[in-house]
Structure 1
Amino acid sequence: MSNKAPRGVRLVITLAGRRNAGKSSLINAIVDQDISIVSDQPGTTTDAVAKHYELLPLGPVTFYDTAGLDDTGELGELRIKATQKVLWRSDVALVVIGEEGITDYEKNIISNICELKIPFVILFNKNDLRTPSAEELNYCRENNFPFLEVSATTGLNIKEIKKAIIELSPDEMKQTPVLAGDLFGEGDWVVCVVPIDLAAPKGRLILPQVQVIREILDCDAVAVTVKDREIEETLSNMKRKPALVITDSQVVLTVAGDVPDDIPLTTFSTLFARFKGDLPSLVKGAEAIDTLENGDIVLVGEACSHHDVADDIGRVKIPRWVTQYTGKNVKFETYAGHDFPEDLEKYKLVIHCGACMLNRTEMLRRVTECNRRGVPITNYGVAISKVQGVLERIIAPFNL
């Protein structure tokens, strides 16, 4: 079951520390499976190894066993960068201390995790071989850093590690997150407008649509799913007004024309802007579209790597719509997957996808990093509604 949960709604837990600190042995002990190769040879783990696991009451989580942050050489530097990318999207970190104890090196790791504002617990591993010194324990206590003495070999405090993860987890992971469920009530009708075009996956709906429809059903409301050319006829045949219409952003202009003004309207991508990020910040970021000038560079951020089609939303349609709206010769660059450029300052604006394949922690970090560097950020749905002239109506249900 945990293997089928969407990647973007999983809690991400990363084990970080030196080579040979026992990270692989610990993760094997936590999930009670041999998923990471264990060896006395430092550097056995070269790339981050992911393990899906059901950790109740949190539900599906992903553990990452990472390469040691003290790796050496040119290849070692690449492994360290890969580990740091995993940390960037982590909800909880387990800092594993090996036989070397807490040195300046470990303190730098902890400092980095603190800067990223990742909740963490320090694990003094290999308790059967070494116990932490009084100085190390004082370091933890003076800084209010939670810690445990553990051993993958004897099983000491393995259950306590799981308890610590649950306690450190973000509040939204301990509760059922809301996409649109606060916008309608039990028994209400909600109309979902789902266009089927070349970009639509064969035989299925895209993840945001699936998640929203499932939530409607979970809330004991009625989900009516139609294509964009059917919305007007559907509304005219309904015996009562729907509580909400949710449309794909790509057809928001035509749908807005077909849906009466007294029926609340929003988009799937706008719902995800709230669900995965910071909707007010992303709405404000869209204002930067009005300031674009010739030669400005806009970053289009995609959460997933995919084969782009002739009318790709992020690589073709949004650049076309923004260009038509501004009348400017703006350049567009695309970053896909978990990569996010280090030279953010060169961009006048970031337009990000709905982030259905990212967890909320990673998306919020991207928003925070853009804000920190003074680069406005918005998302697909908000940006499209902006350039189509319907943004005020689309965000009206949220009372911003």
Structure 2
Amino acid sequence: MDKKNDKVKKAAFSFILLMGIVSLFSDMTHEGAASIMGAYLSLAGASAAAIGFVSGLGEFIGYSLRIITGKLTDRTKKYWPMTIVGYVIDCAAIPALALVPNGGWVVACFLIVIQRFGKAVKKPAKDTILSFAATQTGTGKSFAIQEFLDQLGAFLGPVMLFLVVLLKNSTDIFNVYKICFLLLGVPAAATIILLFVAKARYPEPDKFEKVQETSEPFHMNRRFIIYVVGISFFGAGFVDFSLITMHTMKTGLIPTDTLSLLYAGAMAVDAVSALFFGWLYDKYGLRSLMVSTLCSAPFAIFIFGMDSQWALFLGVALWGIGMGAQESILKAVVTDIVPKQNRSSGFGIFQTSFGVCWFIGSWLMGALYDISPTGLIAFSVVMQLAAIPFYYWTGIVGKNNNKGGQDGITESNR
């Protein structure tokens, strides 16, 4: 029996690693694109207002639709088709940007929105199939490995494009950017190929999690609601990196042509912190999320409140810690709270709530930046710290449920 369990755990771990490599190439594609997207749109003729609107609209679509795609995935149980369709849309939109003509910013904006739609389709299904395997290997560790490989790609993508721009050394930067998007077609193709390999090797990933399913619809129990409120506060206080980039460019603390490297550095911190806090979650549960939030909460003080390079780098590092925890622990908690048959709906609700609050919070902090950077700092810190009591409350409700309470889902064994 133990040998059989060991075999299942090894298969689950291999699946997580393979999907992590898929995420690595995927993030090389769209995070590489993100590092030059604002400048590319501007060169294509888009105004600052248009860029801000499309970026916000893309994020809103990318997150808000997940509540629908999550429920659809639960209803149909088509985990692989939803994942594959979403990835194809997501990855195809990026190299297609190389075909945008001069002045074609409207077409470029349309492709950006399409790319975010692809993410909305794939994310609940992808996180759900990962959660099935994660129950065999430790939810915190599994999502942490995913995030580590994901952010390794997010680091390599911008660095690769930085080198392309550096080597080209051309005054026609618009065409150089088009070459960059064309080159991103290579990791995009690798993403799709590896995804089909994963499907062929593991056609039924739901078999990893051996629990009795029911036909009951998903109910937002008290524990899940408390947790969603907590992550919504955290999301509202978490600044989008584009605002950090804009502030850095205005202050001139580092050369403009190295801004992509600043983002790459944040992704590197994200990757390492995801591994650490994922391991911590499997040992200490929600207390690790409280610790990571305490660590990340002051990032705005250093970035927007101090005028020095060391403060900027420290603030970006703390931002990376928060991002790493967000992408690993937050998903692990959903896996432990929501039952197998309803997990795509749970991920959809979680991701929609987090994303919408992140969008609204970043929008508000952008407005506060023009009025008073101090107001931005206060809002960011207070909102993140406000999440901690809700994380603690989530843990308390979970303990009460495990003692025989009727409200909510009991925590899975780690």
Q: What TM-score, normalized by structure 1, do the two folds share?
A: 0.24
Higher helix share: 2
Higher Cα radius of gyration: 1
Higher strand share: 1
Q: What TM-score, normalized by structure 2, do the two folds share?
A: 0.24
